[in-house]
Structure 1
Amino acid sequence: MRPQRYVAALAVAGLVAGCGTAEPSANAPLKMAFVYATSTQNPFQEMAFGAKAAADDAGNVDLTLSAPSSVDGPQEVSLFQSAIRNSTDGVALETLTPDLFVRPLRQAKDLDVPVVAVDTLPPRGTEVGLYIGNSNTDLGKLLGEEFVKQVPENATGEVVLGNAIPGLTLLQQRLDGMKSVIEAKRPGLRISGPFDSGSEPTSNFTKWNDIVKAHPDAIGYLGVGAQDAVSLALIQKNTGRKFLAGSCDPDVSALQAVKDGYVFALASPEHWMKGYIALRLLAEHKRGGKDLPKGWWNTGSLVVNADNIDQIMARQKDEGSRKAAFKAETDRQLAEPAKHLRPIGEAN
C-alpha cells in the first residue's frame, strides 16, 4: 500500500504550551506517522481513524498513515524505516511481527525520533518506553463472562476456540482469559482448540467452515480476532444452523451479526482510543516539552451485546461519530494519565 498523506486542520487553541529547547509555538508544524500492520482489517483501520482524529485535534500536523495491504512484516519494516526518516517529530507503531522491529526501533532511537508502541508490546532489546494497549486478558474474560450467561450452570458439551494468529501473544492472552472464566463457571463444558482460524477474511471463513464441520455438535464457537464473528455469522446463514458465536472487534459486519442475533457478543479492544492517545501524547511531547509517559497505558475495553448494539452501531457510523462518542473518554484519560499507567512489564 502506498502511504496516505493526511494534513490535519489548524490547532485547537491552547492544547499544549511552548517547548523547551527548540521553543516552537504551540501550533508549530509537525511531521508525524502512524505505521500499522494492514490496511484491510477493522482493528487497524480503527487505530488509524483514532490517529487521524488526534492529529486533527493537535492541529497543523502532517500525518502519514502507512500499512501493507495484508500482513507483511518485512514490508511494514520498510514503511517504518521510511517513516523515521521523513516523519521525524514522532511515529506510532502497531505491528503483528514485533520481533522484526528490534533493529528498526534502535535506528529510530539513534535518529532521536520518538516512538510509541500501539496495541502490541515493543520487542525486548529496544528502548521504547511507552506502550498503548488494552488488557487482552481482561478482554478475554469479558467475552467469557458473556458466553457463560448464554448457557445453564450444569451445561455439558463442546466449546470450540479459534485463534486468528497462532503465536501472537496478545491473542493468546485473550484465549487464556476466556478459558479461565469458562472452566471456572461452566466446568461441565469441554473446550477444544484453539484451532488456527486465519486472520485474512477469505482464509478465516474457509478455516472456520472446516472447524465447524469437524466439530458439528459443539454448542459454541468463540474467536479472538476481528473476522471470526463475521465468518461464524455467515456460516449460520449459509447452513441454517444456529449456535452460540462470539469474538472481538467492532467490524461493521460483526456489529450487524450482533444486531441480527447471530453473535451473542463482541469484546471490543477499543482500538480507536489507542491510535488517538498515542498521537496526542507524541504531539504534546514534541510541542510542549513534556516527557513521554513511561509504562503501559491501558485504554480500556468494552462489551458489545444486544443491550448496547444500537448505540455502538451509531458510534461506528463514520469518523465524525467516532470522534464525538469518544471525546469525553479521551479528555478524561489525557487529564489523568497516572490513573491509566502501570509498569510496562505488567501489560497483559
Structure 2
Amino acid sequence: MFRSALVILPAVLLMAGCGAEQTSDDPPTIGFVSQNTSRDFSKEMSEGFRAGAAISGGVRTETTGPDTHDGLKQAALLRDLATRAKGGIGLSAVAPELVAEPMAQVVEQGVPVIAVAGGQVAPGSGVHLLIENDNYELGRVLADAVVERLSADSAGKIVIGSNSPAMPALDLRSLGLRERLAERLPKLQVIGPLDTGRDLGANLNTWRRLADANPDAVALLGAGDVDAINLAAVHAEKSASWLAGAFSLDAKALQGVKDGHLFATVSAEHFLKGAVAGWLLAEHAKGRPLPEGWMVSPGLLVQASNVDEVVRRQATEESRLAAARPKIDELIGSADHVRPLDQAR
C-alpha cells in the first residue's frame, strides 16, 4: 500500500519542508502546471497527477497549462495557480530557465514546488525535487533496439530528428542515441539531431523531406512525440524499408508499432511521473516531508512483443492507474531511485 511504502523510506533520503496547515473544513489545494493541454504526453501527466492525489485523498486538485508550448504563459499560470494551490504545485517546464524565477518566487511564498519532467531543474529555482526519467539512458535504450535489427557491419546513415531542440529532455535522448549508435555501429554515419518542428503538419513535411534526401538511410529516429506520429505516417506512405522509431505513447504511435511502421517507441511513462507528484504533494499537504533529489522514473520500450498489452493498459485512466500503482509504490518506497539533483540527465 502507498502509505506503508513511504513509511519504510530509508533515513538516508534527504527530506525537506513541512506540512501545509489545514482544517477539517477546508482541505488544501494542490496543483499541476503542464507543458500544454493539447498533446497526449502532457494530458497523461495531468491525469496521473489527479489520480495520485486521489489515492492519498484529503486534498483538492487543480490542473492547468498553456494550449501549446509557451514558457512565458506557463510562468504566468504558475503565479496564478500559487494564489490557490497553497498545498503545493507540480510543474513540467517547457523551458526550465524561463520558469526558474517564478518558481523561486512561489517557493519564497511558502508554496512547495516539485519539478516533473522537463529534463532538469534550472539553477535559482529554489526547487529541490525532480521527478524525471534518465533521458540519456532512454536514448541508449532506443539505440540498442536499433542495433538488434542491424548487423554490426551495416553501412549507410541514421538520421536523428527532434521536434523540440534545446529542450533538455529531448536533447539528452538525442545524445544518448548518438553516442550509443556510434559505439555499437561505428561504420554508420549518424546525422543530427535535426530540428523537425513542433507543429504537426510542418513536422510531417520535414520527415518526408529527410526521407527523400537520405535514400541510403537505414533508420530515421525521432526524439519526441510528434516525431513518432509522423515517422509512422511517412514510413507507411513510402512503404519504406528503413527503421522508424521515436518516443511516444500516443494512440497513433502505438498503432504504428502494431502496423509495423514503427519498429519501436519508447514511453517516458508520463502518467506515472504525474501520479507520483500528486501523491507526494497530497501527503506533504497533510504533514509528510518531501524528499529531495532526482527521483528517477523508469521508461518503457514498446515493440511488437508488448504493444497489445500497452494498448490495453492505455485504454482508460483506471487501467493506466492499475498498471502504475506497483511502480509508484516502488519509487516512493526506496531511496535507490533517488540521486543527487545535479546528476539529472
TM-score (norm 1): 0.90
Aligned to 1:90: 88
Aligned to 1:341: 338
Change (3 A) 1:48 1:23: closer
Aligned to 1:324: 322
Aligned to 1:301: 299
Q: Which amino acid aligns with 1:164?
A: N
For residues 21 and 244 of structure 1, the distance between their equivalents in structure 2, rounded to whole angstroms, comes to 51
Aligned match of 2:52 in 54, 68, 82? 54
C-alpha distance after superposition, 1:109-144 (max 9, x if no partner): 221001000102221112100000010011000000
Aligned match of 1:44 in 5, 20, 42? 42
1:200 Cα deviation after fit? 3.0
Aligned to 2:243: 244
1:237 Cα deviation after fit? 2.1
Aligned to 1:282: 281
Aligned to 1:111: 109
Do the aligned partners of 1:16 and 1:284 also contact (CA within 8 Å) in 2? no
Change (3 A) 1:239 1:63: same
Aligned to 2:164: 165
Aligned to 1:3: none
C-alpha distance after superposition, 1:312-345 (max 9, x if no partner): 1111111111011111111222222x12111001
1:20 Cα deviation after fit? 6.8
Change (3 A) 1:23 1:316: closer
Structure 2 unaligned residues grouped into runs of 5+: 8-17
1:22 Cα deviation after fit? 4.1
Q: Which amino acid aligns with 2:277?
A: A
3-state SS in 2 of match to 1:324: helix
Structure 1 unaligned residues grouped into runs of 5+: 1-11
Instruction: Tell me which stretches of 4 or more aligned residues in structure 1 moved more than 6 Å.
Output: 12-17
Correspondences of 1:196-275 after superposition (within 5 Å): 196-275=195-274
Change (3 A) 1:113 1:138: same
1:21 Cα deviation after fit? 8.2
Aligned to 2:153: 154
C-alpha distance after superposition, 1:186-238 (max 9, x if no partner): 11111112110112322221221222222233111001101112101111222
Q: Which amino acid aligns with 1:116?
A: I
Q: Which amino acid aligns with 2:173?
A: R
Aligned residues: 333
Do the aligned partners of 1:242 and 1:262 also contact (CA within 8 Å) in 2? no
Do the aligned partners of 1:35 and 1:79 also contact (CA within 8 Å) in 2? yes
Change (3 A) 1:103 1:23: closer
For residues 224 and 183 of structure 2, the distance between their equivalents in structure 1, rounded to whole angstroms, comes to 23
Task: Name the % identity.
Answer: 33
For residues 306 and 292 of structure 1, the distance between their equivalents in structure 2, rounded to whole angstroms, comes to 39
CA RMSD in angstroms, aligned pairs only? 2.1
Q: Which amino acid aligns with 2:211?
A: V
Aligned match of 1:314 in 312, 318, 321? 312
TM-score (norm 2): 0.91
C-alpha distance after superposition, 1:75-113 (max 9, x if no partner): 111111111111111100001111111221121122100
